[in-house]
Structure 1
Amino acid sequence: MNAAWLPLTALATSLLVAVTIFCLPEEARRLRSTINLLAAVFKIILVVLMFRRVADGHEDIFSFQVIGGVDFVLRTDALGVMFAGLSSLLWLCTTVYAIGYLEGSANRKRFFGFFSLCVASTIGIALADNLFTFLIFYEMLTLSTYPLVVHRGSEQALNAGRVYLRYTLSAGVVILLGAVLLYSLTGDQSFSSEEGLGDYVNDHRVLLILVFGLLVGGMAVKAAMVPLHGWLPRAMVAPAPVSALLHAVAVVKAGAFGILRVVYDLYGIELSVELGVISVLAVAASVTIIYGSLRAIAQQELKPLLAFSTVSQVSYIILGIGVFGPFGTVGALAHLLHQGLMKVTLFFCAGNYAEELGIHRIDEMDGAGKRMPLTSIAFTIGALGMIGLPPVAGFITKWYLGVGAIQADMYWVVAVLVLSTGLNAIYFLPIVHRLWFRLGPSHGKGHWPDEQRLGKRLETHSWLLMPMVVTAIISLMAGLFAGLPFSPLDWAARVANGEYLP
């Protein structure tokens, strides 16, 4: 039985919330927060229902014809529901964090209105079943994140917003060109089609390679692959919840997810290998991984360091595609989830350090572990996970990518993983050392004695602590209990093996 209402309701929930928030007065702070939280919880319930139906072999489809031969289609499949699940969980955490972070600030209505549009865009990307539907939400994501990037309204923020639009809108034009060329060849191509593009390879090999380059090249902008990454470090002028949004949940993940769709569901891994484009993708990902790590080492401020870390870390997903084999695929899919959990934790921590202690530079972090122990424990978990040390989830990713590379006789990929792990340690371990093993000055907005901190209040606002603690714990549990049913690794393995096909 087709429950077409399920994907439609998951999308409509955030759209309706956005409209409602824009209609509310700026002063309706409590009502706006309540609506946001209830909608986020309701969306998680819907995603859980989709998970259960996909696990039982059901495929729910909502569609209607837009023009002749082009349909708007939402479909629940294992890969899309996996991305929707990550988005829904981290959107709830980010919503809680944003409510606390923006307490008393201006333009909260505008922020949360576009915030909800971002949620809708991400869910639409996750559930889109063809390029036409995907492109609608992909560009909607660009337009709805721009007001968040420029939220503070400073000249620096406005410049960052202009750079962001130049990159992402230009990429959208490139993707549209690829989609039009593909449509002229094959018609409306569904991600769930069993026919694929193999029938066209003999007569249209060059065109297929060109289309692949346009689609993946355009999506590589949001995925922040070198040399198309320039917008991401500049976007760090945005508030901490927006940084978490860009890096862990929405924009860079939308790009990586789009590349997964093109390779696995549009072209198919066999045709991609036959066309010779997978090796190019693996090399490009490897260059990005090393480049991002080297640039992170050179940073003096925390948020730009985390930004270049994202440039590096997201390309592990792309590298997993290039390691064509079951272990590489599992590593790529698992890292889609693992990186989001760890990176959102790190940005929550960065926001807490800035809000409570006024810390923005790395050399200001000496002794912050004593002042903010929960935040520093969470940061340490996220940092160790990014390095790839057990038992945090990042270790699982690198293990599967390494084993996959050995099975595919791609030993140079193992060298890339080892080198990148060393570089990750070079820029993260000194920060951890500063937090716990150096004595620092009395930072921040006011000194309070230890007995007051321990006896009368938490280290910062509880709304800023709760989501950070939750994501840090899940990052740890995703590594410790990776072998349990329905863990991120287990779901990724089942998706890669096609066990959830209807």
Structure 2
Amino acid sequence: MNAWLNWTSWLPGAIVLSSLLPGALIFLIAEEDCNRRTLLNMTGAILTLLMVGVLIWGVFFGAVFETRLTIAPGLDLILHADALSMLFVTLSSVLWLVTTIYAIGYLEHSPNRSRFFGFFSICVSATVGIALAGNLLTFVIFYEILTLATYPLVAHRGTPDATRGAKIYLAYTVAGGVALLIGAVWLRSLTGPVDFVERGVLSGMPAELHPQLIGIFLLLLLGLGVKAALVPLHGWLPQSMVAPAPVSSLLHAVAVVKAGAFGIVRVVYDVYGVEFASQLGLLTLLGVAASVTIIYGSVMALTQDGLKKRLAYSTVSQVSYIALGASILGPIATIGGMVHLVHQGIMKITLFFCAGNYAETLGVHKVSEMDGVGRRMPWTTLAFTVGALGMIGIPPIAGFVSKWYLGLGAVEAGAHWVLLVLAASTLLNAGYFLPILYKAWFRPPPESWPHEHAFESRFETRGALLWPPVFTAALCLIAGLLAAAPFSPLEWATLIARREYGS
């Protein structure tokens, strides 16, 4: 029994360290020592995934995993595993492994790879820390580490555009971090330590404190909304597309934007409690912000010729489905928002992997350059097609499941206006994805591509670039087809809804 208790007390901390320690060691590796760097990358990613697998099994059957470190009286760093953290930490660990393989292939002949993979691992460690944070203090610390660790990745290429994009990213996220810190300190001054607790910790607060709690929520939403790319706090995201494709994939599918959306979910459900937040009128505010962002991002995506920028504005829109689910009072909408945390990640990383393949293999960076690309790169384009159709919400791909539950949740809550938002978003999604698919599959290819690279591969591009998007596209299909299976994202989202609504 003691051995098991010790095991459950150090496993969450070990998961964070399993990516942090390899990252620290990678900085020390000589640039030309590819084998050792790859070994550290892959060892850390696989070890993390194995430990997360143990964590999933234990949490599903009721075990309590918590690492607690007291840094000062009343200040505890807490890493705690629950159903919500399992969704995010599983997504992070699976996609970290896939992105590591992709990045090794993508950056095969690039300079400064040790620096890149060092910060890459620290970024993932911070994301895992956010996922497992058991209180607001721990969340804020890892949230700020993520900001600083991601900056060198955005600036990696060192070009004027990369430096400018990184500075814009840092300005937005540091300002957001300040707002988040002020809100967290203000809240702690009212309540003491703020642990993440089922159904929230604030519902019993006296009425005279409600105006302050509303102000605190606005600060927290401001701080989290920057990374979640809520309009008008989204300006950094399209500018960060100057980063290499593995970084774009990480930003949009796993780390930064997902950390902001996850933080909003934590604040609504585990700090305020969804019913208390509704009483304060905060869910209406969040729903309006999410809806405006969903429509705005989709409209802006229609106007972008740059493929990565079109995908960036798609992210602005799609990530806000998570916040929209949190803003609708009812368990079914909660399921839709929570499952989209995972579904959006696997669909969007597929699309960015494919965009990177087009750029790296053919020099194709724009939608206008994609005529006939499906004939030259059929597997990549098939993966892109799955991801795009999933974003539109075509069954049986994962995105359909998210939209279905959000729509049912809106009907359950009597929020029929949400159906209009979902319908408009779906039409706009089709408007900016279907023309790409038509050009890729049905238009004749050009006589020559903008900048075609000849790789020593029997496939359409290097295997390390091809198989990650094929794998994640398969996950998009599996998550939709087997949504009702045990341990599926939908199953975990259902557990979260039951926990938050006591049913």
Q: TM-score category by the smaller chain?
A: over 0.9
Cα distance between partner residues in 2 of 1:401 and 1:438: 36
Q: Which amino acid aligns with 1:182?
A: L
Q: Deviations over 1:416-471 (max 9, x none)?
A: 000100000000000000011000113144498xxx99xx7100000001111110
Q: Specify the alignment match of 1:40 in structure 2.
A: 45
Q: Specify the alignment match of 2:267 in structure 1.
A: 262
Cα distance between partner residues in 2 of 1:196 and 1:135: 17
Instruction: Give the drift of 1:498.
Output: 2.2
Q: Deviations over 1:105-163 (max 9, x none)?
A: 10000000000000110010011111111111000000000000000001111111111
Instruction: Give the drift of 1:480.
Output: 1.1
Q: Which amino acid aligns with 1:458?
A: F
Instruction: Give the drift of 1:64.
Output: 2.0
Q: Specify the alignment match of 1:486 in structure 2.
A: 487
Kindly indicate whether residue 34 of structure 2 is the aligned counterpart of residue 29 of structure 1.
yes
Instruction: Give the drift of 1:195.
Output: 7.0
Q: Do the aligned residues in 1 keep the contact of 2:12 with 2:80 (CA within 8 Å)?
A: yes
Cα distance between partner residues in 2 of 1:286 and 1:418: 12
The 5 A counterparts of 1:182-331 are: 182-192=187-197, 196-331=201-336
Q: Do the aligned residues in 2 keep the contact of 1:78 with 1:500 (CA within 8 Å)?
A: no
Cα distance between partner residues in 2 of 1:41 and 1:428: 34
Q: Deviations over 1:18-38 (max 9, x none)?
A: 111011111111110111011
The 5 A counterparts of 1:333-372 are: 333-372=338-377
Q: Specify the alignment match of 2:10 in structure 1.
A: 5
Q: TM-score, normalised by structure 2?
A: 0.96
Q: Do the aligned residues in 2 keep the contact of 1:62 with 1:74 (CA within 8 Å)?
A: yes
Q: Do the aligned residues in 1 keep the contact of 2:393 with 2:400 (CA within 8 Å)?
A: yes
Cα distance between partner residues in 2 of 1:317 and 1:255: 10
Kindly indicate whether residue 472 of structure 2 is the aligned counterpart of residue 466 of structure 1.
no
Q: Deviations over 1:266-289 (max 9, x none)?
A: 110111001000011001100000
Q: Do the aligned residues in 2 keep the contact of 1:15 with 1:120 (CA within 8 Å)?
A: yes
Name the % identity.
55
Cα distance between partner residues in 1 of 2:348 and 2:106: 18
| CA separation of 1:410 and 1:193: change in aligned 2, threshold 3 A | closer
Cα distance between partner residues in 1 of 2:384 and 2:254: 18
Q: Give the ranges of 4+ consecutive aligned residues of structure 1 lying more than 2 Å apart after TM superposition.
A: 192-195, 444-448, 498-501
Q: Pick one of 393, 400, 415 that aligns with 1:395.
A: 400
Q: Which amino acid aligns with 1:311?
A: V
Q: Which amino acid aligns with 1:172?
A: G
Secondary structure, counterpart of 1:23 in structure 2: coil
Kindly indicate whether residue 138 of structure 2 is the aligned counterpart of residue 122 of structure 1.
no
Q: Pick one of 449, 455, 458 that aligns with 1:443.
A: 449
Instruction: Give the drift of 1:199.
Output: 2.0
Secondary structure, counterpart of 2:380 in structure 1: helix
Secondary structure, counterpart of 2:207 in structure 1: coil
Q: Specify the alignment match of 1:457 in structure 2.
A: 458
Q: Pick one of 65, 71, 76 that aligns with 2:81.
A: 76
Instruction: Give the drift of 1:375.
Output: 0.3
| CA separation of 1:318 and 1:356: change in aligned 2, threshold 3 A | same
Q: Specify the alignment match of 1:14 in structure 2.
A: 19
Cα distance between partner residues in 2 of 1:475 and 1:198: 38
Q: Specify the alignment match of 2:153 in structure 1.
A: 148
What stretches of structure 1 of length at least 5 have no aligned partner? Answer: none
Cα distance between partner residues in 2 of 1:55 and 1:249: 22
Secondary structure, counterpart of 1:4 in structure 2: helix
Instruction: Give the drift of 1:70.
Output: 1.3
| CA separation of 1:446 and 1:135: change in aligned 2, threshold 3 A | closer
The 5 A counterparts of 1:31-110 are: 31-110=36-115
What stretches of structure 2 of length at least 5 have no aligned partner? Answer: none
Q: Deviations over 1:389-434 (max 9, x none)?
A: 1111000011000011011111110000001000000000000000
Cα distance between partner residues in 2 of 1:74 and 1:447: 46
Cα distance between partner residues in 2 of 1:219 and 1:35: 32
Q: Deviations over 1:285-316 (max 9, x none)?
A: 00000000000000011000000000000000
Q: Which amino acid aligns with 1:153?
A: G
Cα distance between partner residues in 2 of 1:155 and 1:308: 22
Q: Which amino acid aligns with 1:150?
A: A
Kindly indicate whether residue 411 of structure 2 is the aligned counterpart of residue 410 of structure 1.
no
| CA separation of 1:78 and 1:186: change in aligned 2, threshold 3 A | same
Query: How many residue pairs align between the two structures?
Result: 496
Cα distance between partner residues in 1 of 2:472 and 2:208: 50
Cα distance between partner residues in 1 of 2:304 and 2:387: 18
Q: Deviations over 1:313-345 (max 9, x none)?
A: 000000001111111000000000000000000
Cα distance between partner residues in 2 of 1:403 and 1:130: 32
Q: Do the aligned residues in 2 keep the contact of 1:201 with 1:208 (CA within 8 Å)?
A: no
Cα distance between partner residues in 2 of 1:211 and 1:194: 18
Q: Which amino acid aligns with 1:139?
A: E
Q: Which amino acid aligns with 2:458?
A: R
Q: Deviations over 1:353-404 (max 9, x none)?
A: 0011110110110000000000000000000000011111000011000011
* Aligned CA-pair RMSD: 1.6
Secondary structure, counterpart of 1:72 in structure 2: strand
Q: Which amino acid aligns with 1:459?
A: E
Q: Specify the alignment match of 1:159 in structure 2.
A: 164
Q: Which amino acid aligns with 1:96?
A: I
Q: Do the aligned residues in 2 keep the contact of 1:356 with 1:444 (CA within 8 Å)?
A: no
Cα distance between partner residues in 1 of 2:368 and 2:299: 18
Q: TM-score, normalised by structure 1?
A: 0.97
Q: Which amino acid aligns with 1:37?
A: M
Cα distance between partner residues in 2 of 1:242 and 1:489: 27
Instruction: Give the drift of 1:193.
Output: 6.5
| CA separation of 1:446 and 1:349: change in aligned 2, threshold 3 A | closer
Secondary structure, counterpart of 1:204 in structure 2: helix
Q: Which amino acid aligns with 1:257?
A: F
Secondary structure, counterpart of 1:273 in structure 2: helix
| CA separation of 1:124 and 1:446: change in aligned 2, threshold 3 A | closer
Kindly indicate whether residue 430 of structure 2 is the aligned counterpart of residue 421 of structure 1.
no
Cα distance between partner residues in 2 of 1:195 and 1:153: 44
